[in-house]
Structure 1
C-alpha cells in the first residue's frame, strides 16, 4: 500500500512540480462571421479575385497564471469593384503560464500561443468560405516568430522616441 506510514509518522505530501509550466487550457471560436453581399450574381463573375488579409492578435490576462490569446483573421475577397465575400474569425485560447519570467511569458504569448491557434483559425476560415459557395481557401503559414520580432523592434523604437521626448528640454522664456 502506498499510504503506509512507519512508526506513526505521516508520509510527506507529494511536492508540486517546481519550475516553469505551460498548458493549453481551452481552445474555442470566440467570433465568426461570413457575408457575401453580392451573391448570387458574384458567382457569374469571371474576373480574377483580389484577396486582402488582415491578421491581429490580442492578449488578456485572466488571472495570475492564465491568459486568453485571440487570433483574429479577416479575409476580404473582391472581384472587380464588388465584394465577393468577407470572412472573419476570432480564434481564442486560454493558456496557463506559470513560473516564468515576464519576458519569457511575453515571448510565449507572442509566438507559441498564436502558433497553436493558427491551424484552428485556418480551418474555420476555409470551412466558412467553402460553405459560402466559394472554392476552398487555405491560409498560408504565418511566421509568428518574425511578427513578434517586428513587434519588439516597434516597441523599442517607441520607447526610444518617448525617451527622446522626455529628455528634451522644454523651451523656456529667457
Structure 2
C-alpha cells in the first residue's frame, strides 16, 4: 500500500482557506476635541481637578470583510466649580474578519478590539491634555472583555425578567 502525502507545500487557492481569521488593518484618530474654556484663570486654581471619564464602544461593518471599532472617550476635569478642560476622543481601528461566526465576532468587536485600541487612545488623550497645559492623564487599564460579559449578562437577565413579567 502506498503512503499518501496529505500535506501540501503548495499554497491554497485564493479563497480556499476557511480558517477563522481576524487582524487589525489600521488604527486612527477619528475625532479629537480639546477645550479649556476657563483658561488662563483655571491655571491659577489651587484645588486639584476632579476628573470624570466616560467610555463608549461602537462597531460597524464597513466592507465585505472589514469592521470598524470606535472607542469613544470623554474626559471632563473640574476645579473649584469651574471646568478645567474637556477632551473628547473617538479612536478607531479597522479589522479584517474572515470566516468568523456572528457569535464569536461580537465578543471580539466589543471586548477584545477595544482592549487592543485602548493603549494608543490613552496616549493620544495624555498628549492632548499635556499639550493643553495640564499634567498628562494616565488612565488605568480597562478590562473591556469583563465589561462586555457584564453587559451581556445584564441584558440577558433583563430579557428573562421582562419575559417573566409578561407571562
Give the TM-score of the pair, scaled to structure 1.
Answer: 0.84
Per the TM alignment, residue 94 of structure 1 is displaced from its structure 2 partner at its CA by 1.0
The aligned residue for residue 66 of structure 1 is 66
- Are 2:47 and 1:14 aligned? no
- 1:34-69 Cα offsets, whole Å, 9 max, x none, are 000000010010012100000110111123422110
Whether the 8 Å contact between 2:69 and 2:113 is mirrored in structure 1 is: yes
Name the CA distance, whole Å, in 2 between partners of 1:135 and 1:102. 42
The aligned residue for residue 96 of structure 1 is 96
Per the TM alignment, residue 18 of structure 1 is displaced from its structure 2 partner at its CA by 2.4
Deviates more, 1:69-78 or 1:154-163: 154-163
The aligned residue for residue 129 of structure 2 is 129
- 1:96-125 Cα offsets, whole Å, 9 max, x none, are 121112111011112211011101110110
For structure 2, the residue ranges without an aligned partner over 5 or more in a row are 1-9
Please identify the structure whose Cα radius of gyration is greater: 1
Q: 1:13 to 1:42 in 2, by over 3 A?
A: closer
Name the CA distance, whole Å, in 2 between partners of 1:135 and 1:82. 17
Name the CA distance, whole Å, in 2 between partners of 1:118 and 1:35. 22
- What is the Cα-based RMSD across aligned positions, in Å? 1.6
Give SS of 1:51's match.
strand
Give the number of equivalent residue pairs.
156
- 1:50-98 Cα offsets, whole Å, 9 max, x none, are 0000011011112342211000000100002100000111000111121
Name the CA distance, whole Å, in 2 between partners of 1:58 and 1:110. 7
Give SS of 1:136's match.
coil
The aligned residue for residue 144 of structure 1 is 144
Name the CA distance, whole Å, in 2 between partners of 1:102 and 1:163. 24
For structure 1, the residue ranges without an aligned partner over 5 or more in a row are 1-11, 169-174
The aligned residue for residue 3 of structure 2 is none
